[in-house]
Amino acid sequence: MIELAEAREQLLAACPRLDPIQLASADAIDCVLAEDVVSAVAVPPFDNTSLDGYAVRSADLAGASEAHPARVTVLGMVPAGSAAASPVGPGQAWKVMTGAPLPAGADAVVMVENSSATKAHPCSAAGDSVELYAAPAPGTGIRLAGSDTARGELVFPRGTVLRPAHLGVLASVGAHTVTVQPRPRVGVLVTGDELVTEARELAPGEIYESNRAMLMALLRKLNCDPVDLGIAPDQVSGLRTRLGRAIAECDVIVSSGGVSMGDADPIKAVLEELGRLNWLQLAIRPAKPFAYGLLDGPTMLLGLPGNPVSALVSFTLLVAPVLRQLLGYHNVEPEFIPAIAEADFGAQPDDGRTGYLRATAHFGPDGRLRVQPLLKQGSHQLSAAARANALVRVPPGLSPAAGAEVATLLLH
């Protein structure tokens, strides 16, 4: 048997790199920048007003208040997207709307709430007179050019994971395309004579197939580009053709089923023909068997056990880190955090295998994470795993009781 951490290290070392690609920034959500982004423009591009009000010369309003208003003559109104036709002279003001360029001569903006303007008398036409009730310091109500991002500034360094606000910033600096690590193309191949995908009644010995929908969804959530390779035919020739096509198309192939020790599955034989495979026995429960290797292409094969919970667990602990590395993320390892067991977690057999138990987790009133094991811990009991939002790690031979601290990985 091999420890999980060692297996993960092997996988990460064997994983090929993908070349960066150009992508429309708006489509690059959750991708990782492969190059620094430097702004070609200042944001905002010009000094502008941060509120609706009157652009004034602050010296004209010294000492102004509601009791002693300052009276100025309005030159007209400047909406956002427009510009003042003339500078503000002594005793004058432009009515300005949020985002309008600051008129020349003005050095402050008084908000409309601090004026005699009303809905009925908006005081925005040339020649109107308005009373102002505040004495703003120079700079009040003004957003300076470049105060968000300066021209030539490093906006985001390479390695940045692009989240929604990053996409907004890229648009704001006019970076319409970005160089990022590509989303890995990941083929999903399920194997097994007993598996049925069609909507028909099951014949004796058959079951409805469940891993494909789960794995495709896991891949989508991880920001990968999943490719449905269907159910592997059990004849070797069909499997060879199917895999050959998949290798040409995919960066990674994730398969389920046929990796157990006792298996005489044709997939094992065909994979052996196509590349150098490593058949591992992981020191974990569930999901002991795992295969990986490089097929011509180079395409990395990651072979999961067929039992649905095992497939889910080994995807989470081994496949996800590989895909995160391919995506260019820095933190690729699953992050276990301490939690308090709210119930007995049962005894893990002392057989060298670390248990990963399906559990529900929530933060208690004290702010600490609390976990409770789910009842059905069998590797075929996917419905219990679906209700879990955490995996709890229990080393071999231990039986954490209620109140004990346990290492927990939050899922989703």
For residue 44, the partner it binds in ligand AMP, Mg ion, none, with Cβ less than 5 to 8 A by kind, is: none
User: Is residue 255 involved in binding ligand AMP (CB under 6 A)?
Assistant: no
Which residue has 């009515």 as its token pair? Answer: 95
- The span of 95-103, 148-156, 204-212, 321-329 binding ligand AMP (CB under 6 A) equals 204-212
Contact predicate 111/81, CB 8 Å: no
User: Is residue 305 involved in binding Mg ion (CB under 5 A)?
Assistant: no
User: Is residue 286 involved in binding Mg ion (CB under 5 A)?
Assistant: no
Instruction: Name the minimum Å distance from CB 314 to ligand AMP.
Output: 11
- The span of 8-16, 117-125, 151-159, 254-262 binding Mg ion (CB under 5 A) equals 254-262
Q: How many CA atoms lie within 13 A of 336 on its CB side?
A: 16
- Angle made by CA atoms 160, 301, 287, in degrees to the nearest 5: 95
> What is the footprint of ligand AMP within residues 69-128 (CB under 6 A)?
none
Contact predicate 254/264, CB 8 Å: no
Among 53, 266, 297, 306, binds ligand AMP (CB under 6 A): 306
The neighbouring-strand residues paired with 340 are 370, 405
User: Is residue 210 involved in binding ligand AMP (CB under 6 A)?
Assistant: yes
For residue 20, the partner it binds in Mg ion, ligand AMP, none, with Cβ less than 5 to 8 A by kind, is: none
Instruction: Name the minimum Å distance from CB 257 to Mg ion.
Output: 4
C-alpha distances (whole Å) from 79 to each of 51, 52, 169, 170, 372 are 11, 9, 24, 25, 58
Burial of 70 (0-12, 13-18, 19+ CB in 10 A): buried
Q: Which of 251, 249, 250, 269 is nearest to 259 (CA)?
A: 269
> How big is the site for ligand AMP, counted in residues (CB under 6 A)?
17
User: Is residue 257 involved in binding Mg ion (CB under 5 A)?
Assistant: yes
Write the DSSP assignment of 231-274 as a string of letters: EEPSSHHHHHHHHHHHHHH-SEEEEES--STT---HHHHHHHHH
For residue 169, the partner it binds in ligand AMP, Mg ion, none, with Cβ less than 5 to 8 A by kind, is: none
- The span of 1-9, 21-29, 187-195, 403-411 binding ligand AMP (CB under 6 A) equals 187-195
List residues binding Mg ion (CB under 5 A): 192, 257-258, 306
